[in-house]
Amino acid sequence: MPQSVDYPTLAKTITALTEGEDDIVSLMATVACEVHHSDDRFDWTGFYRVVGPELLKIGPYQGGHGCLVIPFSRGVCGAAARTGQVQLVADVDAFPGHIACASSTRSELVLPVWGNDGTLIGVFDIDSDQPDAFTQDDADEMAAILRSAFG
């Protein structure tokens, strides 16, 4: 049985580690690390940063290498950035335009990350090597953690 995240503890830990920090890269690195190690389902955990019009580049992450550049027009991360909506994908092979950065990825959860001024600063991408690994509860809890850290 896969580990299940203790979200209240994870949220408290991230808040304690990031309190008073306003450097985006430091925040991203800390969140990626803590989330990655919180659950065995999480095979790759990291951020893609908005670096230009309709363009994401890889930011701090945990796991194997990721794609370096993702346009808003492609893949699950691009869809999250383009629409501003959480992408909860049970089977990446069934997602139109999925970009296979890692061949092991079976399911994915991608959340838009908003800065305190309401602008999109990136997306938070969690990949699993298990199919249908993520729930709406995961999406809601991660969204709250991201709002707290970056909003």
* Domain of residue 51, residue span: 7-150
Instruction: Look at the chain and report how many structural domains it folds into.
Output: 1
d(CA 8, CA 120): 25
Query: pTM score, two decimals?
Result: 0.95
pLDDT tens profile 102-136: 788 999 999 999 999 999 999 999 999 999 999 99
1 is a domain residue: no
Tell me the C-alpha distance between 143 and 151, whole Å. 11
Residue 51: inside a domain? yes
Question: Quick check: is 72 in a domain?
Answer: yes
At 42 the pLDDT is 95
Please choose, from the candidates 56, 40, 42, 35, the residue with its C-alpha nearest in 3D space to the C-alpha of residue 99.
56
* 24: CATH: 3.30.450.40
Residue 113 lies in a domain: yes
Q: Which H helix or E strand runs over 86?
A: none
Report yes or no on 52 lying in a domain: yes
Check residue 63 and give left, alpha or beta (phi > 0: left; psi -120 to 50: alpha).
left
Residue 2 lies in a domain: no
pLDDT of 143 reads 97
Residue 101 lies in a domain: yes
Q: What share of the chain is helix, strand, coil (3-state, %, to 5)?
A: 35, 25, 40
- Residue 3 predicted with pLDDT over 80: no
3 state SS of 3:
coil
* 66 and 91 Cβ atoms separated by less than 8 Å: no
